[in-house]
Structure 1
Amino acid sequence: MKCYKRIIPLILACMMLAGCGQNVYKKGVESLENKDYAAAQENFQKAVEDKKNVADSYRGLGIAYYEQEKYKDALAAFENAVSAGTKETGTICNMMAVCKMQTENYEDAISYYEKALDHSDCSDDMKQEIQFNVIVCYEKLEDWDNAKAKLEDYVTAYPDDEKAAKEAEFLKTR
């Protein structure tokens, strides 16, 4: 999740450029920048209600909910953002996957993670995080064969990852 510290400012900048003249929307962006997620949530919700920058407002609302660990609400907001025209990027797919994972919908999480990996905006750090999270999802599903196969691929790509070594030890018992 550390990669979001680099990605969220980029999203916020894009949102600001698209939101010129939209006061409540701009307040939402400012609130996100100031890490005042409750205020951001309120402002973006108002922007959605006022039909101002709807797709971007839903995306901002999703980020605000996500940062507050309100994953079910974040997922709904991200889905509404995509329906309203927000491009389904690797970052958005990854955040949606995390929401699915946090709400224990591991099959859908895997699907979103796979979608995220197909996008060019997926950084190397994000790819590594996604691949590890896919392993965890398979473990939660008790799909040991897929978890082991994904871990083997992961260790090949990231041989020095200590978390992977711990997962390998865990999976040896399965």
Structure 2
Amino acid sequence: MKCYKRIIPLILACMMLAGCGQNVYKKGVESLENKDYVAAQENFQKAVEDKKNVADSYRGLGIAYYEQEKYKDALAAFENAVSAGTKETGTICNMMAVCKMQTENYEDAISYYEKALDHSDCSDDMKQEIQFNVIVCYEKLEDWDNAKAKLEDYVTAYPDDEKAAKEAEFLKTR
């Protein structure tokens, strides 16, 4: 009987530890939903280490880093997510493009933005944001001809966008 009194707490402790390991991914998701990005980062990192929902955990880790503006880390996590089997959606491509843009890799950002536009999950607002960011990337590359051409297309699609009017004024000086 004394043996059971020692074994039962040990078994319960093991069950709790095992349960915690299985729930690290869920805790990461909950942390993202609560906008606690540091906790989400920690939980998803632990889930990756424990090989729990690896692709989704890398995606969650990428989002957590992205929201903390740790763009190099976010990009690495998103790339790992795709390598591990996460579907490369328009949203993921857009986030990867923003990471590339924020780290001043404008050519790759444009490529990811173009990939994002090819996916059906892009909302109209996301498409508009992407098209504007492509213009900015071309400006950063000092590729004025492509920037002007993309801006012309953009203004045709979104004639009421005040930011576009300012960009048009800027590009007239180039």
TM-score using structure 2 length: 0.88
Which stretch has the larger CA shift, 147-156 or 9-18?
9-18
Distance 1:125 1:149 in 2: 20
Distance 1:103 1:2 in 2: 62
Q: CA deviation at 1:13?
A: 30
Larger radius of gyration: 2
CA contact 2:59–2:81 (8 Å) conserved in 1:
yes
Instruction: Flag as ranges the 4+ runs of structure 1 deviating above 4 A.
Output: 1-21
- Residue identity over aligned pairs, in percent, reads 99
C-alpha spacing 1:20/1:161, structure 2 compared with 1 (3 Å)? farther
C-alpha spacing 1:110/1:15, structure 2 compared with 1 (3 Å)? farther
Distance 1:106 1:144 in 2: 14
Distance 2:14 2:152 in 1: 38
- After superposition, give the CA deviation of every residue in 1:111-155 in whole Å (9 maximum; x if it has no partner): 000000000000000000000000000000000000000000000
- After superposition, give the CA deviation of every residue in 1:83-129 in whole Å (9 maximum; x if it has no partner): 00000000000000000000000000000000000000000000000
- After superposition, give the CA deviation of every residue in 1:12-61 in whole Å (9 maximum; x if it has no partner): 99999999993100110010011000000000000000000000000000
C-alpha spacing 1:59/1:156, structure 2 compared with 1 (3 Å)? same
Higher relative contact order (CA 8 A, sep 6+): 1
Q: CA deviation at 1:7?
A: 47
TM-score using structure 1 length: 0.88
Q: CA deviation at 1:69?
A: 0.3
Mark the runs of 5 or more structure 1 residues left unpaired by the alignment: none
Is the partner of 1:12 in helix, strand or coil?
Answer: helix
C-alpha spacing 1:82/1:14, structure 2 compared with 1 (3 Å)? farther
Is the partner of 1:86 in helix, strand or coil?
Answer: coil
Which stretch has the larger CA shift, 146-155 or 10-19?
10-19
Distance 2:156 2:166 in 1: 15
Distance 1:161 1:3 in 2: 75
C-alpha spacing 1:7/1:81, structure 2 compared with 1 (3 Å)? farther
Q: CA deviation at 1:6?
A: 51
Q: CA deviation at 1:8?
A: 42
Aligned length: 174
Task: Identify the structure with the greater helix proportion.
Answer: 2
RMSD of aligned alpha carbons: 12.6
Q: CA deviation at 1:4?
A: 53
Cross-structure match for 1:111: 111
CA contact 1:12–1:29 (8 Å) conserved in 2:
no
C-alpha spacing 1:5/1:97, structure 2 compared with 1 (3 Å)? farther
Cross-structure match for 2:122: 122
